[in-house]
Homo-oligomer: A and B are copies of this chain.
Amino acid sequence: MAYELYYWPEIPGRGEFVRLALEEGGAEYIDVARIPGGMARMMALLGSDTAVNRPPFAPPFLKDGPVVVAQTAAILMYLGPRLGLVPADEAGRLWTHQVCLTVADLVAETHDTHHPISADLYYADQKDEARRRARHFRTDRLPHFLGWFDTVLARNPAGPAHLSGDMLTTADLALFHVVSGLAYAFPRAMGRHLAAVPRVAALHAAVAARPRLQAYLASDRHLPFTEDGIFRHYPELDG
């Protein structure tokens, strides 16, 4: 049975981390909210207004037969062994999950560069605060996160090609996507920072060159970054 991914239909967003794992893992899946009637099906499973016993707090969530899993990093943890995208040992799986959780933290901080006051307000209503937050993000947090990923790659006993063990994992795919998003949102800052983290840049290029992902990224299953998503290019926030 095909996996069912539920996520907002118009942005790559956090759903993209799940899509990348499903695509690279060669899984059959339905991107439910993007098919006719799918949004209604998603809303019927979501939050406090449904009869689901274990309702997701927010998209993305994955349905695998009777199992419903929410929280991006937990979905990746669920899919990892099923798609051959985590090491076999418990320590390696735990480490892969930790790296995915750290990517999730970076994603949340990236989102808040353009929405530092409230996700319920427009960007235009928090532009001054966004400019201030984005400056600290570009200067402090972004290089701090990128430096950590580069250190992890440098320290990997199996070599710097992967974040966890000697194989492609959900952590590599997650880092690929967040770097793509950051390069879209902050081209000037990332141009500078990526030069200081050559292993991160190399991993990003290697993942982008994988045949299944190349096919996916060129397809209409893949959604482009826009100024409605998590990664937004507002030139006034870059620098």
A120 and B101 within 8 A (CB):
no
A152 and B116 within 8 A (CB):
no
Given known contacts A118-B133, A133-B118, is B98 in contact with A74 (CB within 8 Å)?
Answer: yes
Given known contacts A55-B152, A148-B55, A151-B48, is B71 in contact with A98 (CB within 8 Å)?
Answer: yes
- Tell me, yes or no, whether A184 is within 8 Å of chain B by CB: no
- CB contacts (< 8 Å) of A73 on chain B: these are 101
- Chain copies in the assembled complex: 2
For chain A, residues 135 to 151, give those with C-beta under 8 angstroms from any C-beta of chain B.
136-137, 140-141, 145, 147-148, 150-151
- CB contacts (< 8 Å) of A174 on chain B: these are none
Binding site for B on A (CB under 8 A): 47-48, 51-55, 57, 67, 69-71, 73-74, 77-78, 91, 94-95, 97-98, 101-102, 105, 108, 112, 116-118, 120-121, 126, 129, 132-133, 136-137, 140-141, 145, 147-148, 150-152, 155-157
